[in-house]
């Protein structure tokens, strides 16, 4: 059996309205999508292999998302995290396009209503931004709180989704 450390990590850069996104994938699926802004910039490691063609599915779906034509992503995902983090990241995918949820509501959604701070920490560690929409989580009073890609990027993503959400009404 191959352990995650033995997977070949592929990467590419994908242009976006937020700058060039760094995308990572292994043999299982997408492991990371990082904005060029924010607190913790990610750069390729020497052990990673650049393969621009390995990301055609992600590139196409991101283009549709940024054009306002895609609400959800249908990609194989393979984030690495604790069991708690994985539960939080899965719950983030249930927050509807163009809407937001609080950290507390997300904690309730995963069955740990007193864990809003832990949800906030897990949210901040989400390695697959945009696709796993951690930007949709806001403070209890509606404030835009921290975002690994920077608050300007979070504000842009929320405004982008809000401006296109009505296009999907049916």
Q: What CATH number is associated with residue 127? A: 1.10.10.10
38 with 91, same domain: the answer is no
Domain with 96 in it: 83-168
Query: Taking 50 as the threshold, does the pLDDT of residue 148 lie above it?
Result: yes
- Residue 135 neighbours by CB under 8 Å, 6+ apart: 129, 147, 149, 153, 154, 157, 158
Mean pLDDT of 97-119: 94
**CATH code for the domain of 53:** 3.30.160.70
Query: Taking 80 as the threshold, does the pLDDT of residue 39 lie above it?
Result: no
Mean pLDDT of 70-77: 96
Q: Is the pTM of this model over 0.85?
A: yes
**Torsional class of 68: left (φ above 0), alpha (ψ -120 to 50), beta (otherwise):** left
60 with 94, same domain: the answer is no
pLDDT: is 148 or 30 the higher one? Answer: 30
Check residue 1 and give its pLDDT. Answer: 43
Catalytic residues: 134
Mean pLDDT of 20-31: 97
Nearest to 133 by CA among 145, 121, 147, 118: 147
Q: Is 46 exposed, middle or buried (0-12, 13-18, 19+ CB in 10 A)?
A: exposed
Work out how many domains the chain is built from and give that number.
2
Query: Taking 90 as the threshold, does the pLDDT of residue 92 lie above it?
Result: yes
Give the tens place of pLDDT for each residue, 112-130.
Answer: 999 999 999 999 999 999 9
92 with 155, same domain: the answer is yes
| Mean pLDDT (the chain, rounded) | 90
Could you tell me the pLDDT band of residue 5, with boundaries at 50, 70 and 90?
low
């Amino acid at each position: 059996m191959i352990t995650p450390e033995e997977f070949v990590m592929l990467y590419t850069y994908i242009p976006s309205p937020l700058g060039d996104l760094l995308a990572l994938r292994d043999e299982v699926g997408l492991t990371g999508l990082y904005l060029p802004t924010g607190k913790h910039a990610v750069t390729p490691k020497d052990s990673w292999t650049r393969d621009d063609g390995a990301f055609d599915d992600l590139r196409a779906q991101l283009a549709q998302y940024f054009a306002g034509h895609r609400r959800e992503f249908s990609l194989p995902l393979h984030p690495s995290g604790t069991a708690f983090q994985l539960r939080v990241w899965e719950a983030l995918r249930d927050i509807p396009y163009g809407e937001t949820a609080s950290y507390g509501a997300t904690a309730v959604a995963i069955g740990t209503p007193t864990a809003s701070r832990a949800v906030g920490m897990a949210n901040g560690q989400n390695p697959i931004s945009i696709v796993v929409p951690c930007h949709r989580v806001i403070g209890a009073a509606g404030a835009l709180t921290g975002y690994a890609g920077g608050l300007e990027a979070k504000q842009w993503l929320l405004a982008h989704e809000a401006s296109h959400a009505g296009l999907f009404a049916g």
